[in-house]
Amino acid sequence: MSFNAVLLIAVALAVDAFAVALVAGITLPRVTMRHTLRLACYFGIFQAGMNFIGWGLGLSVRSLIGRFDHWIAFALLAIIGGKMIIEALQDKESRAEPGDPTRGRTVVILAVATSIDALAVGLSFAILKVDIWFSALVIGIVAATFTAIGINLGHFVGNSSRLGSRIEIIGGLVLIIIGLNILRQHGVF
């Protein structure tokens, strides 16, 4: 497979990571280099790793994973998006400081949810006998780059607007919509 083909696939896979990073940047009161690197590393490593795992699984489990991978991605994104909406709707006094989506379970859940498609691409790469080391590296680097751009752009947009907690609601809805779009792409509706 040519470099351009792998690059186009990497960009297509990185779109979800970019959108989720954009939302993360909007919700954070301040984005530091640590936030950017942590989210970019998680998303890049998970994209590359899931691609590699998918390739390793090959044809043997493709039919099993293909039946429900989209539901897993949807559920994970809907849970995080729903949590963001609920937190945004709580009154200011009862609200704790908004959580950091680049830490703990949240970042792992987001990284898994945005990289499930990379698992399917890895399965396809096994069928096509694509060099997985090069492809996974390109996919990971592109995902990390898009993530870094997304979190910083999201923070810029979030700070530029005076939408307050409404931006968190919008962010939560965006995550749920991404999950619904994954279901749509898999022919659920």
- Tens of pLDDT, residue by residue over 67-107, are 777 787 788 778 877 877 887 787 555 545 557 888 989 89
**The pTM is what?**
0.74
- Tens of pLDDT, residue by residue over 19-63, are 889 889 988 889 999 999 999 999 999 999 999 998 888 756 656
Contact 151, 18 (CB under 8 A): no
Contact 107, 42 (CB under 8 A): yes
Measure the CA–CA gap between 53 and 56, rounded to whole angstroms.
Answer: 5
The domain segmentation of the chain, as residue ranges, is 3-185
Joined tokens for residue 95: 């609200």
Q: DSSP character for 97?
A: S
